[in-house]
Structure 1
């Protein structure tokens, strides 16, 4: 059994199509088919169910694919570890976030101490971050929903209050506190479906006995705040959004009931090799959030 056979199998298993897999691997289809056939012969079981020209990974194939994925994951992590020992590749940290508000100041303050480290950052939904962690494709994620999965560690960093903001001329604008059910008929301006903050706030509304009428979805808190100011709806805003904000959201209302809070946490995979730079960043993140004055 050779690594090339396993790589070919991994590609065919992902695409479940011999022709497409051959095109992606840039080899002749008959050669790929023979390679898969030899692998099945070595293993003594078929890895695919074949009907006409259709391929479908069977129970043996799914079980074997899990092991093959682990093989390549370990090889990749071994390569990354060697690169660090050779003083290459140790200065980049890959980070996924669902809370873009915290990132600029966090990263900029870290880079003042560690100027040689580079960041690769992506804005992802909770489900995407979980997948990236399980595949060991990122070093860390910062999310507002606990991420649970195979070999994933998720450590709480801070808990903050969630407020409601309303337009300046709104009847509730002069109120300091409200019950959430009082805005059940309002149009809501919200984060996109799938993002941690959206999941959390949708659950608040369910606790209050209603499903929010979402008039606008987006992923930019500044845009959401501008739409509220223009009178297009109300919005949930986390407490951290007011930190160092020169243009704060209007008419912040405390929610009496239900209890509206979220916990921000740092996640990483025990499968992924963490460089010294990554370990330094993990410790820095913990200290950074512990000093946030909420």
Structure 2
């Protein structure tokens, strides 16, 4: 038996799921709240599932069935748009909205350039970024809040497929005074800092990765401060409170504190972090998501940097 829900119902559902508020969704769609509520109820009857839970204190919350529908809905709606366009012999230019995830420490380095390139190539697509840590990005991908994410490989589980587009080895940053004491050396071993206070960037999965580097050498870091902020870590170091390990190399040494840090390459054989484009395995990407992937590939293949060597080609990881 064919399920007879409509694309209008699916579109209404997507708006309500995104805004988690019936009144706000009705205003955005320029329909009455009763019309919107009726469409959602009809959709639930056709699918024979409950898509939302209604809670007085928390408002509308997606059920597991609702999250599954939200994850698959954008691709279906886009295919319907393309079908209509082809029937009308209209332009096949991409249009509409695209939400993508980006790992928060990568965002200052990559998001502005990606936005510039993407908007120049696809001016009819409204691109928005969802910034988060490794864990929150995976949940956003799974729940359908974003279609693809630019992130590290750390902690990415079996639900997702990823394409590696860069590898970034770890490096240390030290205050200017500590760099001067190293007599101008640009390459050091982590062992040389075993007695120095350490500033840990402790985002989910990222902090564990840095601590594993110490364990690889049989060292125990003297953790002085722990922070969730990339620039906060750099400012602590610049002010002489210790040293830190980071992956994303930044030639600009000035920090928010007004002081400078010095990045130094590591001679130790540490595994690099892989920068990946991550998507759900069980969902076909929309053409807009595929376009985003291609823009990111082009940007990374054209990048040059001492700590972000190109890997030459994209390769899927499982």
* TM-score higher than 0.5: yes
2:265 pairs with 1:254: yes
CA–CA distance in structure 1, aligned partners of residues 48 and 59 of structure 2: 15
CA–CA separation in structure 1 for the residues paired with 2:65 and 2:247: 42
**Paired residues of 2:175 and 2:240 also in contact (CA < 8 A):** yes
Measured on the aligned residues, the alpha-carbon RMSD in Å equals: 3.4
Q: Of 175, 180, 190, which residue of structure 1 is paired with 2:185?
A: 175
Q: Which moved more, 1:85-94 or 1:201-210?
A: 85-94
Match of 1:82 in 2: 80
C-alpha contact 1:160 1:239 (8 A) present in aligned 2? yes
Structure 2 SS opposite 1:205 = helix
Aligned structure 1 segments of 4 or more residues deviating by more than 6 angstroms? 65-68
Partner of 1:201: 210
Task: Decide whether the 8 Å contact of 2:71 with 2:142 is kept in 1.
Answer: no
Contact 2:161 2:278 in 1 (8 A): yes
CA distance in 2, matches of 1:76, 1:105: 25
Match of 1:163 in 2: 171
Contact kept, 8 Å, 1:83 with 1:89, in 2: the verdict is no
Q: Which runs of 5+ in 1 are unaligned?
A: 13-19, 27-64
Find 2:133's aligned residue among 125, 128, 133: 125
Q: Residue 153 of structure 1 is aligned with which of 145, 158, 161? A: 161
- Specify the alignment match of 1:6 in structure 2: 49
Residue in 2 aligned with 1:96? Answer: 101
Aligned length: 243
* 1:240–1:128 distance in 2 versus 1, CA, 3 Å: same
Task: Note the 1:1-294 alignment, pairs <5 A.
Answer: 2-3=45-46, 6-7=49-50, 11=53, 20=55, 24=59, 70=68, 73-75=71-73, 77-83=75-81, 90-98=95-103, 99-100=106-107, 101-146=109-154, 147-150=156-159, 152-170=160-178, 171-172=181-182, 174-194=184-204, 196-212=205-221, 213-221=223-231, 223-242=232-251, 245=252, 247=254, 250-259=261-270, 261-272=272-283, 274-294=285-305
Distance 1:106 1:75 in 2: 25
5+ unaligned residues in a row in structure 2: which ranges? 1-43, 86-92, 306-318
Task: Report the CA distance between 1:163 and its aligned residue.
Answer: 1.2
Structure 1 residue 130 displacement after superposition: 1.7
- State TM-score, norm by structure 2: 0.64
* Alpha-carbon distance in 2 for matches of 1:293, 1:23: 47
What is the distance in 2 between the residues matched to 1:265 and 1:226?
Answer: 28
CA distance in 2 between counterparts of 1:281 and 1:261 reads: 24
